[in-house]
Amino acid sequence: MVTVIRGGTAVNIIPARCRVWLDRRILPDEELESVVTELNNIICDVAATDFSFDTQAILLDLPLNLASETPFIARCRVAVEAIWGKANVTGVAYASHASRLAASGIPAVVLGPGDVAAAHNTR
């Protein structure tokens, strides 16, 4: 998702350069290198022939990779099912600190509403 675009000095002057920031979350089982390659390929496919660009990962938040049937997740699933009657284990395209805990060897899950639109509010 494009989140910031900067470039140009006036409406009637073609800018020499433009900077575009993209927010592309790394999903479970994806690697940073493959995501960068995918984005570079998309840019090459749509760019003009005299177009040059470079990419740089400026904020890297690792995906939360945890096998879906570990004992820790099984206990979480039982607890959620006891309250809500169902529990879905899935990957999502938003960030949390859980991935950093898991990368350090601390089992972590994100328990939430299942839809990021419902996060951080009272709905």
pLDDT, residue 115, reads: 74
Considering the domain boundaries, does residue 57 fall inside one?
no
Considering the domain boundaries, does residue 56 fall inside one?
no
The DSSP symbol for 6 reads: E
pLDDT, residue 12, reads: 96
Task: Quote the longest CA-to-CA distance of the chain.
Answer: 63
Residues 42 and 75 in one domain: no
Considering the domain boundaries, does residue 112 fall inside one?
yes
Q: Please name the amino acid found at residue 67.
A: A
Considering the domain boundaries, does residue 6 fall inside one?
yes
Instruction: Give tens-digit pLDDT for 43-67.
Output: 888 877 777 888 887 877 777 777 7
CA triplet 7, 37, 45: central angle to 5 degrees? 65
Q: How many domains, in total, are found in the chain?
A: 2
Considering the domain boundaries, does residue 52 fall inside one?
no
Q: What is the mean pLDDT of residues 81-88?
A: 90
Instruction: Give tens-digit pLDDT for 1-22.
Output: 888 999 999 999 999 888 998 8
- Say what the pTM is: 0.54
pLDDT, residue 119, reads: 76
Question: For residue 82, is pLDDT > 90?
Answer: yes
Considering the domain boundaries, does residue 96 fall inside one?
yes
Considering the domain boundaries, does residue 34 fall inside one?
yes
C-alpha 114/C-alpha 86 separation (Å) is: 12
| Residue numbers of the domain that contains 28 | 2-46
